[in-house]
């Protein structure tokens, strides 16, 4: 999958994209990431990429001309890629959204800065608009990193044999169950006996129930968005009784 990132600060990406899963995916040629400095497409000698907003107000706005030239240059080389803006007004980045993006041929991610971009860029070029949540970052670079990371994990072949996005939190619509590793006792706290039993069916049921328990406690809204099995419903009833002190 091809990622093209349009930014005023290309140096911000050197660390996150050269480590861990992203690096492995690049090494295996499952993804390709190119950074494009928007200032390189400005036509004046100062490479101006921002200007004061019409109507007045604080801050600066990213200019349309260099950004449009940058998008068109990349789009000419990657005609099947989808143009994605990063901004607080976009739809929240979720596992479901990342799954949609992972099906694309490529993403052209535009990193907003300052007070935002000239609205005409959104009108002319944007095919999607992504936000990390209801807060404001200094720019869209961190959002772009999150989009690349969340999307890359879902590309077939990226995760190794011992890893699977299917069992991550939100992979099946629920939060992930608690995880433990050696030692079996740490500071007086023991690993649940079921996980040491070697009984795969008991372990599966324990993990499912604890996933439901954690989701019910921390993100009950998610339970309304997935199709629960009869086993899930039975487990939720058991959890409710346990929490109420009935078991």
Q: Would the pLDDT of 218 be above 60?
A: yes
The answer to whether 168 is a known catalytic residue is yes
The answer to whether 156 is a known catalytic residue is no
Strand partners, 108: 4, 83
The answer to whether 192 is a known catalytic residue is no
**Residues 100 and 211 grouped into a single domain:** no
Across residues 6-14, what is the average pLDDT? 96
Pick from 118, 189, 152, 184: nearest CA to 2: 152
Q: What percent of the chain has pLDDT over 90?
A: 88
CA distance 26 to 32: 6
Across residues 170-181, what is the average pLDDT? 87
pLDDT at 35: 98
CA distance 24 to 125: 31
**pLDDT tens digit string along 58-67?**
899 999 999 9
* Residue 178 is assigned to a structural domain of this protein: yes
Q: What percent of the chain has pLDDT over 70?
A: 95
Q: Give CA separation, 130 vs 137, 145, 182, 183, in Å.
A: 13, 12, 39, 41
Stated pTM of the model: 0.87
**pLDDT tens digit string along 67-106?**
999 999 999 999 999 999 999 999 999 999 999 999 999 9
**Residues 65 and 145 grouped into a single domain:** yes
**Residues 123 and 210 grouped into a single domain:** no
pLDDT band with cut points at 50, 70 and 90 for residue 171: low
**Residues 196 and 229 grouped into a single domain:** yes
pLDDT band with cut points at 50, 70 and 90 for residue 226: very high
pLDDT at 113: 93
- Residue 108: give the domain boundaries: 2-152
pLDDT at 197: 96
Q: Are 104 and 82 in contact (CB under 8 A)?
A: yes
| Catalytic site residue from 88, 149, 207, 232 | 88
pLDDT at 65: 97
**Residues 136 and 235 grouped into a single domain:** no
| Catalytic site residue from 4, 118, 128, 153 | 153
* Domain count across the chain: 2
Q: Would the pLDDT of 44 be above 70?
A: yes
Strand partners, 110: 6, 85
Q: What 3-state class would DSSP assign to 228?
A: coil
**Residues 174 and 138 grouped into a single domain:** no
**Residues 147 and 175 grouped into a single domain:** no
Q: State how far Cα 196 lies from the chain centre.
A: 33
* Residue 216 is assigned to a structural domain of this protein: yes
* Residue 164 is assigned to a structural domain of this protein: no
Q: Give CA separation, 120 vs 62, 65, 114, 117, 141, in Å.
A: 11, 10, 16, 8, 21
Q: Residue 224 sits in a domain of what CATH number?
A: 1.10.1270.20
Q: Would the pLDDT of 108 be above 90?
A: yes
| Catalytic site residue from 65, 100, 115, 172 | 115
**Residues 128 and 7 grouped into a single domain:** yes
Q: What share of the chain is helix, strand, coil (3-state, %, to 5)?
A: 40, 20, 40
* Residue 138 is assigned to a structural domain of this protein: yes
**Residues 125 and 52 grouped into a single domain:** yes
Q: Would the pLDDT of 130 be above 60?
A: yes
**Residue matched to tokens 């023991």:** 190
Across residues 36-54, what is the average pLDDT? 96
The answer to whether 207 is a known catalytic residue is no
| Catalytic site residue from 65, 129, 168, 232 | 168
pLDDT at 245: 79
pLDDT at 166: 54
Across residues 140-163, what is the average pLDDT? 90
**Residues 142 and 174 grouped into a single domain:** no
- Nearest 10 degrees: CA dihedral of 120, 123, 129, 133? 50
**Residues 25 and 65 grouped into a single domain:** yes
Q: What mean pLDDT, rounded, does the chain reach?
A: 93
């Amino acid at each position: 999958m091809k990622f093209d990132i349009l930014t005023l600060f290309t140096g911000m990406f050197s660390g996150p994209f050269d480590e861990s899963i992203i690096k492995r995916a690049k090494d295996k040629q499952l993804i390709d990431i190119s950074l494009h400095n928007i200032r390189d497409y400005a036509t004046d000698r100062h490479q101006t990429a921002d200007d004061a907003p019409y109507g007045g107000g604080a801050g600066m706005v990213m200019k349309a001309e260099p950004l449009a030239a940058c998008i068109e240059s990349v789009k000419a080389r990657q005609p099947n890629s989808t143009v994605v803006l990063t901004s607080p007004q976009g739809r929240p980045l979720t596992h479901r959204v990342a799954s949609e993006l992972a099906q694309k041929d490529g993403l052209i991610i535009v990193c907003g800065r300052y007070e935002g971009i000239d609205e005409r860029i959104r009108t002319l070029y944007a095919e999607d608009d992504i936000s990390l949540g209801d807060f404001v970052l200094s720019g869209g670079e961190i959002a772009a990193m999150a989009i690349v990371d969340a999307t890359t994990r879902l590309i077939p072949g990226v995760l190794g044999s011992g890893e699977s996005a299917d069992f991550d939190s939100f992979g099946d619509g629920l939060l992930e169950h608690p995880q433990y590793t050696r030692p079996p006792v740490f500071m007086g706290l023991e690993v649940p006996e079921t996980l040491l039993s070697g009984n795969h069916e008991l372990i599966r049921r324990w993990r499912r129930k604890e996933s439901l328990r954690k989701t019910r406690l921390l993100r009950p809204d998610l339970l309304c968005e997935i199709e629960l099995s009869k086993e899930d419903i039975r487990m939720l009833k058991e959890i409710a009784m346990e929490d109420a002190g009935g078991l």
